Amino acid sequence: MPAVNTSEVKKSDIVGMIEHHREKKGVLIPLLQEVQDRYGYVPKEAVEIIAAELDVYPVDIYGILTFYAQFHLKPRGRHIIKVCMGTACYIMGGKEILDHLKGTLGIEIDQTTEDGNFTLEVVSCLGCCGMGPVVMVDEKFYGRCDLQKMDEVLQEYGK
């Protein structure tokens, strides 16, 4: 999902999402996933609204948000680069790709470039291990990557 990163959190939107889940048991994770789909991350304001509406402590929500790798508490860049560090990709050179991207973009894992264009993340296995090393930019997969190919890919996204 391309990150939207709307910083403006409308209470009515969040309440709408809560209503959609309210009747079910164990709603928190799907609800937070929906919030993140909408905003690209889970804004603090959203956590507070959810806590109040569902009558839980914000700390319980943060407990979940920090446990699962998928959730983000800060806005992310326009393009999310995910470098696969699953076993197959690692053996095929994923780490070199990651180091190269860190160097070229001047950021570390989970950081965003200053212009807000790229966020660099790692994932363990995207499920196409046979094409390793694999990199995913937003929704698109790039297989059998090498450093030169990475430079071309970055250019495609306005580096």
Partner 1 sequence: MDKILICTGTSGIAAYAVEVACLFEELIKKHKLDEQYRVVRVGDRGLFRDVLVDVVTEDSRLVYEFVKPENVEQIVIEHLVGGRPVEKLLAGKDYEDFFSGQMRIVLSNCGEIDPEDIGEYIARGGYEALKTAVSMESLDIIETVTSAGLRGRGGGGFPTGLKWKFCFEAQGDEKYVVCNADEGDPGAFMDRSVLEGDPHSVIEGMAIAGRAIGAASGVIYCRAEYPLAVKRLQCAIDDAGARGFLGDNIMGTGFSFDIEIMQGAGAFVCGEETALIASIEGKRGLPRPRPPFPAVKGLWDKPTNINNVETFANVRHIIAKGADWYSSIGTDGSKGTKVFALAGKVKNTGLVEVPMGTTIKDLVFGLGGGMARKMVKFKAVQLGGPSGGCLPESLADMSIDYESITGTGAIMGSGGMIIMDQQTCMVDVARYFLEFTVEESCGQCTPCRVGLRRMLDVLIEITDGRGKPKHMTFLKEMGETVKSMSLCGLGQTAPNPALTTMRYFQDEYDLHVNKKECPAHVCPELLKFKVIEDKCAKCGMCQKTCPVDAIEWKKGEVARIDLEKCTECRSCIRACPFMAIE
Which residues lie near partner 1 (CB under 8 A)? Answer: 25-30, 32-33, 63-64, 67-71, 85-88, 90-93, 96, 99-100, 103, 123-132, 134, 140-143, 146-148, 151
DSSP 82: E
Binder among 27, 28, 125, 137 for ligand FES (CB under 6 A):
125
Q: Please give the structure tokens belonging to residue 97.
A: 């790709």
> Which one among 14, 50, 132, 150 touches ligand FES, defined by CB under 6 A?
132
Least distance between partner 1 and beta carbon 49 (Å): 17
The distance of closest approach from Cβ of residue 112 to partner 1 in the complex, given in angstroms and rounded to an integer, is: 19
Phi, psi of 136 (to 5 degrees): -120, 130
The residue within the footprint of ligand FES, chosen from 54, 129, 137, 147 (CB under 6 A), is 129
Q: Which residues does residue 137 pair with via DSSP β-bridges, in sequence order?
A: 81, 140
- Straight-line distance from the first to the last Cα atom of the chain, in angstroms, rounded to the nearest whole number: 20
In the bound complex, what is the minimum distance in angstroms from residue 149's beta carbon to ligand FES?
15
Question: 119-143: b or e for each residue (b if 16 or more CB lie within 10 Å)?
Answer: bbbbbeebeebebbbbbbbeeeebb
> Given the rule CB under 6 A, which residues bind ligand FES?
84, 86-89, 125-129, 132, 134
